[in-house]
Amino acid sequence: MRPLMTAAVCAAFAINATAQDKPAPPPAWKQGITDKYKDSKLAPHAGKMTETPASEIPVTKLKVPAGFKVELWATGLPGGRAMALSDDGKKVYVGTRQIGRVYEVADEGGKRTVRTVVDKLTQPAGVAFKDGALYVFAIDKVLKFDGIAANPKAEPVDLTAKFELPPQQHHNWKYVAFGPDGKLYVPFGAPCNICEPPPEYAQIRRYNADGSGKEVIATGVRNTVGFDWHPTTKELWFSDHGRDWMGDDAPSDELNRLAGKDANFGFPYCHADGKPDSEFRKPDPCKGVTRPVALLGPHAAAMGVKFYTGSMFPAEYRNTMFVARKGSWNRTKPNGFDVVNVRASADGKGANVSTFLSGFNEDRSTYRFWGRPAYIAQMPDGALLVSDEQVGAIYRISYDKAQRGNAKK
């Protein structure tokens, strides 16, 4: 028996040795890297997942047009990203990606307090609020908190099984929102930097609030983590991230418009405004692909988008769009780290992109950023909130005609 046992042991050691000799797969963000960039030192920036004191957030460095004011509205939200307002606008719910939490920010008498609603989820970036209920989307879980604005101890209802969530994590964190049709819109990003995605990825779906009635309304969408509906046409406009490792200046992030449904936006074969992919090729790769309303810059990490419908800002801003660009990593020189204003006709023509909020990166030639703007929300009074994932803060942007007049003197 001993020779047989020895042979079995030797075989086991041989299998283990083979497994150890096999190189570990590259991290997800390096997938699709070519030989041209194999020695590149570029890598995603590490997020700061600890609380930053208000005294250490240099809000005075932020710049906005004359007449506008930026102030620090809330702190103590490490990793804070997407925001959803309660029905009365007095509470703001904030999702995170890396830290696994969802926060509630309560505005009471001009003072904000922060509490954690739920913790230890897998990338619960998606939050939406409708009819008194908070919806939380993680990679593998959907929770609904009924009546949470009035009852902090509200227990969640688990709706996960209804939404048929695919499991892979890469680009599968969510931005979610209810549309004018009452449907819940949910994206499912590509599980790669560049690949031919399985059929349940690289798409936008919509559901009834309870998870029934699933429809796929857009395909070829690499990674949208922000969308909103045009105030007059009610059409969906969304940001989409371009792939990495095709060079400093290609491809650009996109701002897209979905007219109707069943449109294809090109991934993985066609990027930006008709740029074929360098690795995944097919004849006429951009034929039938819906082109962007606007290009938002290569590797700029265009995140939250919001049409402005308030009355506080000057009239020229009404029905224009604000886009938070969190900032690049797959680029030698930085791009983004700001909020831009996009002005276009209702059918998406004639788009113009201009800087609105800047100052998060202190040197345009190198990476010296202290903040990374991620999402935008509009308050009942017409002011805008901008979340900063890097320092776990929310800024409030308001407008005062008197301030504008003084600035011109």
Q: Is the peptide bond before 283 cis (omega within 30 degrees of 0)?
A: no
pLDDT band at 15 (very low <50, low <70, confident <90, very high): very low
Q: Which of 363, 356, 361 is nearest to 386 (CA)?
A: 356
In angstroms, rounded to a whole number, what is the distance separating the alpha carbons of residues 227 and 356? Answer: 19
106, pLDDT greater than 70: yes
**Residues with Cβ within 8 Å of residue 338, at least 6 apart in sequence:** 325, 355, 356, 357, 358, 360, 373
In angstroms, rounded to a whole number, what is the distance separating the alpha carbons of residues 211 and 206? Answer: 9
Residue type (1 letter), 22: K
In angstroms, rounded to a whole number, what is the distance separating the alpha carbons of residues 254 and 297? Answer: 8
33, pLDDT greater than 80: yes
405, pLDDT greater than 90: no
Domain 61-74+166-177+188-408 of CATH type 3.40.190.10: no
Residue type (1 letter), 281: R
Which of 38-42, 82-86, 320-324, 381-385 bottoms out in mean pLDDT, i.e. has the lowest?
Answer: 38-42
Instruction: State pTM to two decimals.
Output: 0.93
Task: Say what the pLDDT of residue 404 is.
Answer: 60
Which of 228-232, 363-367, 374-378, 404-408 bottoms out in mean pLDDT, i.e. has the lowest?
Answer: 404-408
- Helix, strand, coil shares, percent, the chain, to 5: 10, 35, 55
Mean pLDDT of 261-288: 95
Alpha helices in 340-399 (DSSP H): none
Give domain limits for the chain: 61-74+166-177+188-408
Higher pLDDT, 409 or 333: 333
In angstroms, rounded to a whole number, what is the distance separating the alpha carbons of residues 305 and 177? Answer: 12
311, pLDDT greater than 70: yes
